Amino acid sequence: MSIRKIPLVGGEYYHIFSRGNSKQKIFLDNKDRERFLQLLYLCNSERSVNFREQIIRAKINVWDFEKGIPIVSIGAWVLMPNHFHLYLTTNVEVAKARLWQDDAISIFMHKVLTAYSKYFNAKYQRTGSLFEGKFKSVHINKDNQAKYLFSYMHLNPLKLIDSKWKEKGIKNKKKAIFFLNSYKWSSYTDYLEIIRPENKIINRINFLDYFKTKHDFQKEIFDWIKIEE
């Protein structure tokens, strides 16, 4: 693997993101989004999973598949039309035992992006790179960074209904709340304790518990858009 400007050290926390080549869309419909989420779950393992053989042909529900112990812990995620964001760290116990803790994130991301690119190119009969170079990473080493990242990621989808909301503020607060509550392509609803299969993607045990309750989480989010609970 090539040397990164920001080393991915085992046990540290990172904001991981990547966008489509030339800013192209990487999710064209909900099936694409669903496949990417399924890969976030399936690829988070030491095992290699053949999606066609072990899931589709075996007629197994992805979320019921026994993939083994995860190699990273995902604290938050969000999908946008032409990019995605992840907040994650290495599953230290597994990584130390396997002696590749500093490679765990790279291994995980390589598996996800390779599998999704193959799926996308086959579905849309295209060739070439889907993503813009290697994935980007930001080292998160302060509590205020981490809390800001949770809000930044989960508020990202508001750009889809109001691209200038950060500069000009929220014009329709009820619409903004409804949109966030109904946007299923992020971990926002997981922090609201809504039960769904995608709950299995995140693992909060390796992250500081910034939000004791779902109300604490919502308050932090609403503070950024000036909404009272």
Cut 0.75: pTM above it: yes
Q: Is 6 a domain residue?
A: no
Tally the domains of the chain.
1
Q: Nearest CA to 81 among 183, 190, 181?
A: 183
Q: Is 8 a domain residue?
A: no
Q: Is 170 a domain residue?
A: yes
pLDDT tens-digit profile of 170-219?
A: 888 888 889 999 999 999 999 999 999 999 999 877 776 777 778 888 88
Q: Is 23 a domain residue?
A: yes
pLDDT tens-digit profile of 82-133?
A: 999 999 998 867 656 665 566 889 999 999 999 999 999 999 999 999 999 8
Domain extent, residue 168, equals 13-224
* Domain harbouring 136, CATH code: 3.30.70.1290
Q: Is 4 a domain residue?
A: no
Q: Is 206 a domain residue?
A: yes
